[in-house]
Amino acid sequence: MREIRLNIVRNEDLSYSVFICSSEWGSVLNKVVSSIKPTSVAIVTDTIVSKLHLRSIVSYLPEGINYVTVEIPAGEKYKTRKMKEYIEDKMLKFGVDRKGLVIAFGGGVVGDIGGFVAATYMRGIPFIQVPTTLLSMIDSSIGGKVAVDTPYGKNMIGSFYQPKAVVINVDFLKTLPSEQIKNGLAEVIKHAIIADKNFFDFLLENRNDILELVNDKLEELIEVGCSIKKKVVESDEKESGLRKILNFGHTVGHAIESVSNYKILHGFAVSVGMVIEAQVSNKIGILPKEDLEKIKEILSLYGLPTSLRELKLKPRIISDMVRFMRSDKKSISGEIHMSLPKRIGEMIDSFSLPVEESLILSVFRDQFI
């Protein structure tokens, strides 16, 4: 088992551990839950994860504990305020009180909505993240951003609310469809590009083992990936500066998701977003050409797309993408901002920069040549 400690001390100590386990995960979970001494437990999960792994998690809860399982349908479209209410009502009906515990058991959707329920239920009760997708293991379960989507945009209603612990079992990845593995790998590669050249080389060298889900390599990958997110989150819990570097590939990635009506998986959109933003960085003389080529190479090696054409998008979507980026949360006074890499493993010192629309348009057009 590997353990990473996140040190978050604000007005109170919000520090917690991320446990990266395989066969021993059940006993770790049992200890973590026992140490919180909850009056009852609400396991928030989705229908797919429930079918595959609910029996396992239940068998590791402390003996005799009162628990309720709240299942939501799987998928982003259920990360809504309505579904949050549904979960809360189930918990209220069961009698979960202020000393109760939420276990968010699933991918990023369940983590975000389950965490948000915990943040507001009786003004806040403890919660644990038990992530089951690669994306949630290295990204969404860490950092305390919890939210639901609205018709006006994704993650528009939410909070910063830290879990008491994150318990990862890499064996859960064995049941995850390969598209979802790739979806998470895009964020893993992003972590390497923004902060760690050695990690980038590790990902290049160990591609076969990683794609074959060899436990040792997965644990190492998750440990380094989480450590990178830890460093960023510790120094900037509420996204005022350094945390912006996590947005690399996301200014364009979010626009791609939006114009595809969220049919393109997040990681695939971010993969192309990273290439485009790296091209922008190269065009304004920041990122060397050689590093740009390496970024494209690693994404291709992991079976991720590197152009808008590969995503089967048509040139006519360009204007919609620019419009989206102008009104996105990351823009400032309508000016498009991007977090750009300086070289592999390092981002620009100011974390993000305003970028001229004419430059973005020319990079977009090049994507279709």
Ligand X SMILES: NC(=O)c1ccc[n+]([C@@H]2O[C@H](COP(=O)([O-])OP(=O)(O)OC[C@H]3O[C@@H](n4cnc5c(N)ncnc54)[C@H](O)[C@@H]3O)[C@@H](O)[C@H]2O)c1
Sites of contact with ligand X (CB under 6 A): 46, 48-49, 52, 74-76, 79, 106-110, 112, 132-133, 135-136, 139-140, 143, 145, 154-155, 172, 175-176, 180, 183
User: Between 217 and 266, whose beta carbon lies closer to ligand X?
Assistant: 266
- b or e along 314-323 (b: 16 or more beta carbons within 10 Å of the residue's beta carbon)? eeebbeebee
User: Between 201 and 328, whose beta carbon lies closer to ligand X?
Assistant: 328
Q: Shortest gap between Cβ of 67 and ligand X (angstroms)?
A: 20
User: Between 185 and 287, whose beta carbon lies closer to ligand X?
Assistant: 185
Six-digit token string for 101: 């515990």
User: Between 162 and 306, whose beta carbon lies closer to ligand X?
Assistant: 162
Q: Are 250 and 154 in contact (CB under 8 A)?
A: no
DSSP 8-class letter at 285: T
Q: What are phi and psi of 165, to 5 degrees?
A: -170, 160
Q: Shortest gap between Cβ of 2 and ligand X (angstroms)?
A: 19
Q: How many CB atoms lie within 10 A of CB 327?
A: 10
Residue 21 one-letter amino acid: C
The angle at the Cα of 5, spanning 4 to 7, to the nearest 5 degrees, equals: 145
Q: SS3 letters for 166-229?
A: EEEEHHHHHHCCHHHHHHHHHHHHHHHHHHCHHHHHHHHHCHHHHHCCCHHHHHHHHHHHHHHH
Q: Shortest gap between Cβ of 330 and ligand X (angstroms)?
A: 14
Using a 10 angstrom Cβ sphere, with 0-12 exposed, 13-18 middle and 19 or more buried, the burial of residue 344 is buried
Six-digit token string for 225: 């990936």
Q: Shortest gap between Cβ of 157 and ligand X (angstroms)?
A: 12
Residue 323 one-letter amino acid: R
User: Between 266 and 337, whose beta carbon lies closer to ligand X?
Assistant: 266
Six-digit token string for 362: 């020319």
Q: Shortest gap between Cβ of 159 and ligand X (angstroms)?
A: 11
Catalytic residues: 123, 145, 187, 229, 239, 243, 247, 250, 254, 266
Q: Shortest gap between Cβ of 176 and ligand X (angstroms)?
A: 4
User: Between 46 and 291, whose beta carbon lies closer to ligand X?
Assistant: 46
